[in-house]
Amino acid sequence: MKTIQTGMGGWLPHSDHRSGFHFPGPALAFLVLVCGVRSLSGVGGEVFSVVGNGVGDKPRYKGGGKLEFRTVSVPVQLVHFSSADEVRIRLDLEYKVIETAPILLTSRFGTEYWRLMQYRDKSMVALYTDEKIDLSRLGPAVAHVNSARVAERYGARLHKGLSGFRGHYYFLIDQPSGEWLDVTDPPALLQSPNVTKTLLFTLADLSRYTLGLGGVQSTWKPGGPVRVRIEVTDAAGERFPVVNVPAALVAGDVRVPLVTQFDWIDAPTGWMVGRLPNGALPESFDLDATVRVLGPSEPEIRRIHVTVTTGTGTVSEAVVLAGTEPASLPRTADGRVRETRALWVAPSDIRTRADIRKLVNRAVRARLNVLIPDVFVRSSLLLKSSLFPLSSSVENGLDPLGFLTRTAHAHGLEVHPWFCVTYRDARFRKSLPGVDMIDRNGKVIKVGADVHRPEYRDFIVDLMVGTARDYPIDGIHLDYIRAMNRCWCAKCRAEFTKKFGKPLENATAADWVEWQRAAIGDIVRRTAEGVRKVRPRAVLSAAVFSNLKAGAEQGQDPAAWLRKGWLDMVIPMDYKMQTLLVYTTEAAFLDILDDDDRLVTGLSLYRRSGGRAVARPSGLVRQQIRLVRRMGIHGYCLFASPYLDDAIVSVLREDLNRLPAVPFYRTVAVPAGLGRLATDKQKREKRKE
């Protein structure tokens, strides 16, 4: 178990998923998301069609309405705090209605709230606000938030200190009468780091306060960094940083602009930072700053003018830039970076030769090193096997996995075919009678297969082992390695009673966990044993729930699978938009794993916006990969290939992955498929260091 030195203790996580809208695994999302990638920079607007999700007993809203979200801003930097339950705050949403509808978008109750991060203790607050985004009239408009109240059910209490909006959960599709219709996903614009970095303000008791200089740090070398801390001292004598203010250090004709300093996950450090001019430095600078204040009564503007003597607060450059520089990455003996950089590949990207070439080209451009192609989902198989027919959707004469493996290996990419282990449909189940799952009312469950049937476990294990035998692959990846549901068929009832000495109706939560884990664990164990006999260097990995409790209920036990040597790598599907919540989940995995080096974080490349799927802002992808590296996790897997757009490829190639890398689990830099796995002994020695 790693000790994570991040300074992020005290985060208060809550669910990032609304019941009914969580995609539990990579494969399902391919079948329900609307394809057609659109990149969102976060600044410059986003066209947004209002499409309902369908909640409760209400019909799904399909009444139309389209608008362009242009900007969102907080026009003040300092706000009066008087209550932990509500606050006066300004938040302006500029938009343009393109297609009218007699509706409003609001955030007044339920899961329709803004997320507010409190950077003092890294807690997340859910805020209901009073904006009314009116779609009844064409043209530009601005919705103003003038107050907010806390939704205690979904987050922490409000307190004083530096805060910032970090996105929105759902919007309520409302009516002027107050009778709401449905909910809709918010625009991706509101989650973009380019936007959220501007939505900062400080809460303090402003019934009496002073503003001033709280500190200065610099190398005081020409061209070196300098940062200043602007602080408010409130009526209780507490001091808090104030950021995002227009500020500069001035000396005659010399002007050093200061901007808010952010750390490696785009959280403000509390400082304003700039670069000193080259050449001889003056004896002193004047700090000139302007703070917009929303006090107990009227808004006001306050100026700060303080002289800073050159040499005050001299520190090293490392101190000034602490927490903002990228994490260092481990290296092989010959100096190459060791990091697993994987991509979950949609079936739609490997059905033709042209699509496969395009996929490999993009992966090479992004400097990834592992492709995980979805070769078996529902009843669609994208490889050749005597156990099940090749899908008719592939290009004539093409063996998708064979062609992909040859093409990827020629470019130094590993290939780990991805099997949706239990995600079967009715068409498949007709080919293997007797594996239907039955619900408690005696009805067939539409999606899945009964993992308690040995004939099904035999089939799926034989398919995966046979693939490892017949193809020169580098690994096998297990997705939907879970029961999918609770089966109440006659055979399950009888077998449960025999094992536990009581009827299935009397099963406890612990009984269900044990029952499901036995069947799922059998698949994992036998697959590992069989694959290693036919292809010893193949890497065994699994996509698992990021919520450990939910995974256990469906038979997952990733820590035990690693401990027993059945898996080489576990990949939690941590698809949350909020980077701070990703941290919480991954920290839980680091806590339970005996060997942290076997953890790779699954990150999403898409998000839902107005009833469709779009590529995430590239800045958010950068932020979350930086988080993974800072936590000491040696790899990431991106979901999924249809959303790897040009902006994300550019961020990967030009920033995050400037240096090529060999997968972390390979100890030497050699062509894909030939590197040896790091041994347990080597890993133990590494941890001791």
- The pLDDT tens digits for 539-592 are 999 999 999 999 999 999 999 999 999 999 999 999 988 887 898 899 999 999
pLDDT value at position 677? 43
Q: What does each C-alpha distance from 653 to 16, 128, 137, 364 come to in angstroms?
A: 29, 40, 44, 9
pLDDT value at position 10? 24
% pLDDT > 90, the chain: 79
Please determine, for residue 168, whether its predicted confidence score (pLDDT) is greater than 80: yes
Distance (Å, whole) CA 451 – CA 520: 7
Sequential DSSP letters for 258-299: EEEEE-TTS-EEEEEEEEPPSSPPPSEEEEEEEEEEE-SSSE
pLDDT value at position 192? 82
Answer for the pair 131, 145: CB distance below 8 angstroms, yes or no: yes
DSSP state for residue 174 in the 8-state scheme: E
Please determine, for residue 649, whether its predicted confidence score (pLDDT) is greater than 70: yes
- Answer whether the bond into residue 640 is a cis peptide, omega within 30°: yes
40-58: pLDDT as tens digits: 333 457 888 999 988 877 8
The radius of gyration computed from the CA coordinates of the chain, to the nearest angstrom, equals 27
CA neighbor of 247 nearest in space, from 227, 267, 224, 217:
227
Q: Which residues contact 89 (CB under 8 A, 6 or more apart)?
A: 74, 76, 79, 145, 146, 147, 148, 201, 294
pLDDT value at position 126? 95
User: What band does 611 get if pLDDT is binned at 50, 70 and 90?
Assistant: low
Q: Which residue has the higher pLDDT, 405 or 668?
A: 405
Could you tell me the fold of the domain covering 337-573+659-688? TIM Barrel (3.20.20)
Q: What does each C-alpha distance from 515 to 505, 552, 556 come to in angstroms?
A: 13, 11, 11
Report residue 374: phi and psi, to 5°.
-80, 105
User: What band does 672 get if pLDDT is binned at 50, 70 and 90?
Assistant: very low
Please determine, for residue 146, whether its predicted confidence score (pLDDT) is greater than 80: yes
pLDDT value at position 610? 67
Q: Where are the domains of the chain?
A: 33-191, 210-320, 337-573+659-688
% pLDDT > 70, the chain: 90
User: What band does 452 get if pLDDT is binned at 50, 70 and 90?
Assistant: very high
Local structure of 626: helix, strand or coil: helix
Please determine, for residue 25, whether its predicted confidence score (pLDDT) is greater than 80: no
66-125: pLDDT as tens digits: 999 999 999 999 999 999 999 999 999 999 999 999 999 999 999 999 999 999 988 889
Q: Return mean pLDDT, the chain.
A: 89
User: What band does 265 get if pLDDT is binned at 50, 70 and 90?
Assistant: confident
pLDDT value at position 44? 53
What's the whole-number mean pLDDT along residues 617-626?
92
Dihedral angle of Cα 511, 512, 515, 518, to the nearest 10 degrees? -110
Poorest-pLDDT segment among 402-416, 639-653, 657-671: 657-671
313-372: pLDDT as tens digits: 999 999 999 878 778 899 988 899 999 999 999 999 999 999 999 999 999 999 999 999
Answer for the pair 448, 408: CB distance below 8 angstroms, yes or no: no
**Which amino acid is residue 241, in one-letter code?**
P
The domain 210-320 having CATH identifier 2.60.120: the answer here is no
pLDDT value at position 41? 32
Poorest-pLDDT segment among 14-18, 174-178, 212-216, 366-370: 14-18
Q: What does each C-alpha distance from 669 to 340, 569, 661 come to in angstroms?
A: 13, 19, 9
Q: Which residue has the higher pLDDT, 16 or 676?
A: 676
